[in-house]
Structure 1
Amino acid sequence: MKTTARGRIATQVLLWAYAGVAAGPLLLVVLGSLRPNQDLLRDPLGLPQRPTLANYERAWQSASLSTYLWNSVLITAAAVALCTTVSLMAAYPLARWHFRGRAMLAAYFLSGLMLPIKLGILPIFYMFQSMSLIDSRLGLILLYAASGIPFSVFVLMAFLRGLPRDVEEAARIDGADELRLFRSVITPLARPAIATVAVFQIAPAWNDFFFPLVLLRSTDKYTIPVGLSRFFGEHAADRGALYAGLVLAVLPLVVVFVIASRQIVAGLTAGIGR
Structure 2
Amino acid sequence: MKAARRSSERAGNLVVHALLIVFAVLAIAPILLIVVNSFKTTPAIFEHPFALPTADTFSAAGYERVFQRGHFVDNYRNSLVVTVGSTVATLVLATLAAFALTEYKVRFAPLVGGFFVAGIMLPIRLGTVPILKTMISWGLMDTLTALVLVYTAMSLPLAVALLMTYFRSVPHDLKEAARIDGAGELRTLSIVLPIVRPGLAAVASVTMLPIWNDLWFPLILAPSQENQTVTLGVQQFVGQFLNDYPALLGALTLGAVPLVVLFVVFSRQFIQGLSQGLGK
Length-normalised TM-score, structure 2: 0.91
Pairing partner for 1:86 from 90, 93, 102 = 93
Cα distance change, pair 271–65 in 1 and its aligned pair in 2 (3 A): closer
Q: Alignment partner of 2:267: what SS? A: helix
Q: Distance in 2 between matches of 1:118 and 1:271?
A: 27
Aligned twin of 2:214: 208
Count residues with an aligned counterpart.
273
Query: Which deviates more, 79-88 or 39-48?
Result: 39-48
Q: Distance in 2 between matches of 1:148 and 1:117?
A: 10
Aligned twin of 1:147: 154
Q: Distance in 2 between matches of 1:271 and 1:240?
A: 44
**Contact kept? 2:75, 2:227, Cα under 8 Å:** yes
Pairing partner for 1:265 from 251, 268, 271 = 271
Give aligned-pair identity as a percent.
36
* Alpha-carbon distance, 1:237 to partner: 1.5
Q: Which runs of 5+ in 2 are unaligned?
A: none
Aligned twin of 2:199: 193
Runs of 4+ in 1 over 4 A off after TM superposition: 271-274
Q: Distance in 2 between matches of 1:163 and 1:205?
A: 30
Pairing partner for 1:3 from 2, 8, 14 = 8
Query: Which one-letter code corresponds to 2:9 in the other structure?
Result: T
Pairing partner for 2:53 from 43, 48, 55 = 48
* Alpha-carbon distance, 1:188 to partner: 2.0
Q: Deviations over 1:18-47 (max 9, x none)?
A: 111111111111111221233114333332
Q: Deviations over 1:74-106 (max 9, x none)?
A: 111101111111111101122233222211110
Pairing partner for 1:13 from 10, 18, 24 = 18
Aligned twin of 1:98: 105
C-alpha RMSD of the superposition:
1.8
Cα distance change, pair 127–159 in 1 and its aligned pair in 2 (3 A): same
**Contact kept? 1:55, 1:240, Cα under 8 Å:** yes
**Contact kept? 2:209, 2:262, Cα under 8 Å:** no
**Contact kept? 1:159, 1:267, Cα under 8 Å:** no
Q: Alignment partner of 1:190: what SS? A: helix
Cα distance change, pair 229–271 in 1 and its aligned pair in 2 (3 A): closer
Aligned twin of 1:63: 70
Query: Which deviates more, 193-202 or 4-13?
Result: 4-13
